[in-house]
């Protein structure tokens, strides 16, 4: 798997009474690296993306400020009428597999163990799928992990 770093910035709070964002819409484009944006429960706008193929924490974190500026520019290119004032920005590293899918289930070289390795930009979703599969394997409701998630595809 490859380790990549991703960047996020979040705006100051908007006035709740202001119609600042349509219906809690989540926007995620298909560019590489992608750009996504969404509202939050406390009336902020979160913008993320601008991924880099690096994982060393010092190099990654040195880019937080310039990436914040780029993300605000990206946002304003799409929504020039919304004044986005960044309040917090951060970065994180995540692993991605060649096929973009997680590894879930048993690994023959470590018996009596189960793995739920989320991986990728959809890893939170995959970790929920992993929890379901692993509990079904333990309870005997499922005999083996679906091929697309299994270590056997390596
Ligand atoms: C900024 C950012 C934004 C993201 N946004 C999204 C998103 O919107 N949607 C989405 O689906 N995915 C998103 N992802 C990706 C997602 O977070 C990961 O793919 C996912 O969390 C991987 O899940 P995991 O359970 O495999 O690993 P992790 O979530 O990394 O969990 C591993 C856990 O193991 C613990 N651990 C590590 N070593 C040890 C040890 N020796 N002993 C005990 N515990 C240990 C760690 O503390 C951690 O809690 C994002 C990632 C980043 C960085």
Which tens digit of pLDDT belongs to each residue from 115-141?
Answer: 999 998 889 999 999 999 999 999 999
CA of 103 from ligand 1 middle (Å) equals: 13
Residue 129 per-residue DSSP state: H
Its pTM stands at 0.85
pLDDT confidence of residue 125? 93
Nearest protein Cα to ligand 1, atom 19: 123
Round to whole Å and give the CA distance between 14 and 35: 21
pLDDT confidence of residue 122? 86
Pocket test for ligand 1, best of 28, 100, 121 (most atoms within 8 A of CB): 121
pLDDT confidence of residue 17? 67
Asked if 45 contacts 20 with a C-beta cutoff of 8 angstroms, the reply is yes
CA of 135 from ligand 1 middle (Å) equals: 19
pLDDT confidence of residue 60? 97
Q: Locate the ligand 1 atom nearest the alpha carbon of residue 95 and give its number.
A: 19
Asked if 117 contacts 84 with a C-beta cutoff of 8 angstroms, the reply is no
Q: Is the CB of 92 under 6 A from ligand 1?
A: yes
Residues of the chain with pLDDT under 70: 17-18
Question: For the chain, what percent of residues have pLDDT higher than 90?
Answer: 84
Show Cβ contacts of residue 1 under 8 Å, excluding neighbours closer than 6 positions: 95, 96, 97, 98, 119
pLDDT confidence of residue 19? 76
């Amino acid at each position: 798997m490859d380790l990549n770093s991703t960047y996020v910035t979040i705006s100051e709070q908007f006035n709740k009474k202001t119609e600042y964002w349509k219906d809690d819409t989540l926007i995620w484009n298909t560019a590489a690296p992608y750009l996504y944006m969404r509202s939050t429960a406390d009336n902020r706008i979160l913008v993320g993306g601008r991924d880099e193929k690096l994982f060393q924490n010092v190099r990654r974190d040195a880019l937080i400020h310039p990436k914040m500026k780029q993300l605000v520019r990206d946002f304003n290119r799409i929504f020039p009428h919304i004044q986005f004032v960044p309040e917090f920005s951060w970065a994180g590293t995540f692993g991605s597999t060649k096929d973009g899918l997680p590894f879930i289930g048993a690994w023959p070289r470590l018996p009596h163990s189960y793995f739920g390795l989320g991986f990728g930009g959809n890893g939170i979703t995959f970790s929920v799928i992993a929890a379901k599969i692993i509990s079904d394997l333990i309870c005997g409701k499922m005999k083996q992990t679906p091929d697309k998630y299994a270590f056997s595809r390596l």
